[in-house]
Amino acid sequence: MPSALETTNGVDDGEVQHQNGFHKNGLLGHPNGTTKELSYAEIAGEVERYPDSGITVLIVGCGPGGLMSALECWRKGCTVQLIDRAYAPVNTGDVFCLQPSCMSVYRHWPRMSKEIEEEQYDAGISYWHNTGDRIYGPGPPEFNDPEALEGRQGPRVGFMQGRIKFFNMLLRQVKRCGIPVTWGRRVVEYYEDEAAGLGGVVLESGEKLEADVVIAADGIKTNSGKLIAGYTADPKDSGQSIYRAGYSPDFTKEDREVLERWPTKPGDVPEWQFWLGAGLHLSAMVSNDMIVWGLTHKDEYAPDGTESWNASVEPEEVVDLMERVAPGWHPAVSALLKTTPRGSLVHWKLRWRDLLQEWTSPGGRIVQVGDSAHSFLPASGNGATQALEDAISLASCLHVAGRNNVAIATKVHNRLRYERVSCAQKMSFVNTQQHHFTDWSAITENPKLIRTRFPSWVWKHDPEEYAYKKYGEGFLHVITNGKSPLQNTNYPPGHTHKPWTVEEVRMDLLNDVNIGAALDGDWS
């Protein structure tokens, strides 16, 4: 751990005012102008910050990847500023899965670690035939099996995090750290000035903002690709779409069939259920404060999905599709879907942008993280995880490099992450194939095989530790233009990585290739 030269004290928002959020030399500033000297024990109990690195960081986008980039860069001594095109925090969404690989870092953030454990959905997972016969469970995700918990650092990691709760937790911590956030700033162009050693953005207003490094965390529609790749990647159809909804359980209070199937009372642990039919699957969770469900299906069953969160779908449309494709659904499932309030159901076309090897601008001053660099499909359970891993890895590389080597640090980070992310992306197709085209003879013999795959090479990884360990090797690789080898060890052991495209995967699916079985190396 670093020396506790600067620390946040973890007080509630607004309770303490301080310039730029910095507490110098263990002194906490109070509103009345007095100071209180913190004991070492008090400092060590909260967030310890590394000394000022002199590096300035501008982050575009206030999603989880952007907010976590801000927090980790701040913890590693950078001066950070956040901007977002929205005019206020966006409190929408339902849930996402975060794996232990991105959660161990919260051991450095005691208050957030506590909030995660209090607010997450530590749900058991069960699997059902669409007709209502139980296949397996409920049980924990693979990363919470008893043997997987040994030596784990950080908070207990539940299966699902509420997107709104998690977003607001990050935003509160950003505020406690004094990191400025400016809303309503739309970026129309990214640029870099290599001679001056700066990256920058042009806002819709014409104003320019610059920093030592600019992090593009503004999602799949980022225009940072124009600078990095020379073009903005066009989306490709993955062959799948999803109907998705999240709403209050108040809408089910009058439906006896739903209440009998999913009784809930305060303190109950929710159950995440996968309902499997030929060619599609439904995931659903009924908790004390949220109902969330999603039906993933092949595009040919309902080709009218869009890459937009516009709510314009009626639940009866989903029920009709389910019965048409895989007849005989348990009536409680149909009843649950019909409780979905109008205006809260979307039909999202799962589109894909083939992974590019370069996530940084030529001069290294602009770097993409999260969906800006790599899109994921929901079945991987990995998109948010890899976005947070990006944030942790990039901040660590900047910390090692120092201000004089910022442009190299972003490229080292890119080289350390590319192969791992590529492999993690492929897990979405492995899991979808397992749920849509299940080998029932194998499942009958061993029902545990139905479980969604969360490979140990994903959840055992520590991106902070890995960046510190491999930075030197990555540095030599970058400055020698690849002549000095870099052997990454953060993807499946024994796997020989090669770039792939969604078209190649779609052809494999059309030819009935078992994606999981065809993978070389140990993907367990």
299: left (phi over 0), alpha (psi -120 to 50) or beta: alpha
Structure tokens at 437: 């085209």
CA gyration radius for the chain?
Answer: 23
Q: Contact 123/285 with Cβ under 8 angstroms?
A: yes
Q: Nearest CA to 181 among 80, 306, 38, 297? A: 80
Q: How far apart are CA 353 and CA 372, in angstroms?
A: 10
* CA dist., res. 300 & res. 302, Å (int): 6
Phi, psi values for residue 432, rounded to 5°: -65, -45
Active site residue 244: yes
- C-alpha dist (Å) from residue 431 to 48, 276, 425: 39, 12, 11
For residue 493, the tally of other CB atoms under 10 A from its CB is 11
Residue 460 has what DSSP assignment?
Answer: T
Beta carbons within 8 Å of 365's beta carbon, 6+ residues apart: 192, 193, 194, 197, 198, 199, 212, 213, 214, 406, 407, 410
Whole-angstrom distance, CA of residue 275 vs CA of residue 126: 9
Integer CA distances (angstroms), 253 to 200, 259, 304, 484, in order: 52, 7, 32, 64
Structural element, H or E, at residue 274: strand 271-277
The structure tokens 């995090």 sit at 161
Cα distance between residue 410 and residue 184, in whole Å: 27
- DSSP alpha helices (H): ranges in 437-513? 440-445, 456-459, 463-479, 502-510
Q: Which residues contact 104 (CB under 8 A, 6 or more apart)?
A: 152, 153, 154, 462, 464
Check residue 376 and report its DSSP letter. Answer: -
Instruction: Write down the catalytic residue from 244, 420, 451, 453.
Output: 244
Peptide bond into 89 cis (omega under 30): no
Determine whether 308 is exposed, middle or buried from the number of CB atoms within 10 Å of its CB (0-12, 13-18, 19+): exposed
Exposed / middle / buried, residue 263 (Cβ in 10 Å: 0-12, 13-18, 19+): exposed
The C-alpha atoms of residue 72 and residue 463 are separated, in whole angstroms, by 12
Q: Where in the sequence numbering do the catalytic residues fall?
A: 244
